[in-house]
Amino acid sequence: MKNDSTRDTFHRTKHLSRVLMQQGRVQLDADWNEQVSILHHYLRTLASDLLGSGAGPKGTCGFELIVDQDRLNALAKDLGIIDPKKLPDLAKELIIISPGRYYVNGLLAENERLLSFGENNQPDAVKNIKDTLNPDHPLLLMYLDVWERHITFIEDDEIREKALGGLDTATRAKIEWAIRARPFDSEIKPTSQIKLEPPPKQPALDAWRKDLQPQFEAWSQKQWTNRPRLRAGIKQQSESDDPCVCSPESVYGGLENQLYRVEIHRPGPAWNGTDKSDAVMSSVATFKWSRDNGSVVAAWVADEDDTLKVSGARDQARGFDRGQWVELSDEQHDLEATPGTLVQLKEVEAGSLTFDPTTASGGSVLGHQNFGRNAKVRRWDQKATEETSLNGGAITTEYDKWFDLEDGVQVQFKAPDGKDPGQFRSGDYWLIAARVATHDIEWPWETEAKEARQALLPNGIQHYSAMLGLVAEKAADSTLIFADLRSKFVPLPSA
């Protein structure tokens, strides 16, 4: 969440049940936010314990993939859609998503209408499925990908109270979903032969679900746990042979309380520290950081040559200034977790940000006309120093090396446990609260002796997945077949 907050105080392992406000005390955003996080954790854990990793209510279970006209007509009748002109064109769209609800690890995904596959995914999503289906991969496993997304006034203008003259207030969080496909491989493969022609009976579908479900859940969990970790610390003021040990003299030297955000920009592997060829440096993972949790953002409404016209920008102290790096992105970047374009500002005026186009990495997209809905400009605070050079406006990742942010705050990336070196994912982030009163950061120690800080998984963005079914091509005409593997439950009063 890129909100302007003081810190994130929710910790699952503390097993707290609620937040209790007290009279005459200071009200903090972190307390209110923690109360919601506690309740969310309880409700989502309860739903996951009762329903498993994925299930929908019988009768209103959504996310069936409709590939047959007769099935589409029958569903339309159930929904009360009489006029066939109001139905999506199945011959054109190939896949239609049914309306309804589905719970994925306790998160509620909802679809209100018959939706063409390309409306929720990339426009070429169906083409990618058709291209992936081949003799080596005659079957595709379709699954529902669900995650929580931060929403500001840029994504939803109704958030702001117009009577306040555009003043910023609270932000929101939203459950997003997308339907994705993956072929069978060494991580997920059926133990018995699967054939979708002729249409399989329910006992066969149940057997396939029972066979594939544990494999899919293990793969899905691995996508999160097998990620690189980050250790935060304070720069040592005295010598030590152990790079993980923090000296007692190490202090945070900032004059303000900050919530630092370290976020992966370009996905990929960590740099090996030796090969500086263009091919390698353009493919390794990079990261960016912000002292304000990445919350300094403005709506990008137009441009004139190298000048960005923006609205909703704050003053220079808490907004934009010359020499800073900003990221140009839009709705699709957010939904697909792809990095935007980083450029450096050279002039800042009210409502106008002029950037240096030569600072954009080769092949980067520039120009407002090349960006989609909800285009935005977001400030980041990394900069080139004597110790750190920038790679396309961001910093190259490297395992076990300490990177200086500012005022003594440092970060170090650690490889995942095991033989897999791991891949950094664009959008993964860590939050580091720095406090003037303690001259320290809020980051857990490995032991009570406080000799080394922990290396932690990202704070987010965590995705959850649930199987939907299998897709194949008909031998006769290459149209698609869908085998439904969704789990359904009967509401308790009806059971």
Say which residue the tokens 């240096």 belong to. 356
Cα–Cα distance, 151 to 180 (Å, whole number): 23
Distances (CA, A) of 4 to 30, 168, 239, 290, 295: 11, 10, 36, 11, 5
Torsion of CA 192, 195, 198, 204, to 10 degrees: 40
For residue 291, give every residue at least 6 positions away whose Cβ sits within 8 Å of its Cβ, in sequence order, or none: 258, 259, 260, 381, 405, 406
Question: Phi and psi at residue 10, in whole multiples of 5°?
Answer: -75, 130
Low-confidence ranges of the chain (pLDDT < 70): 121-126, 237-249, 315-317, 494-495
Say what the pLDDT of residue 242 is.
56
Say what the pLDDT of residue 449 is.
86
Cα–Cα distance, 208 to 13 (Å, whole number): 36
SS3 content of the chain, % helix, strand, coil (to 5): 20, 30, 50
Domain assignments of the chain as residue spans, ordered by start: 12-47, 52-225+463-494, 229-442
CB 423 within 8 A of CB 464: no
Say what the pLDDT of residue 182 is.
93
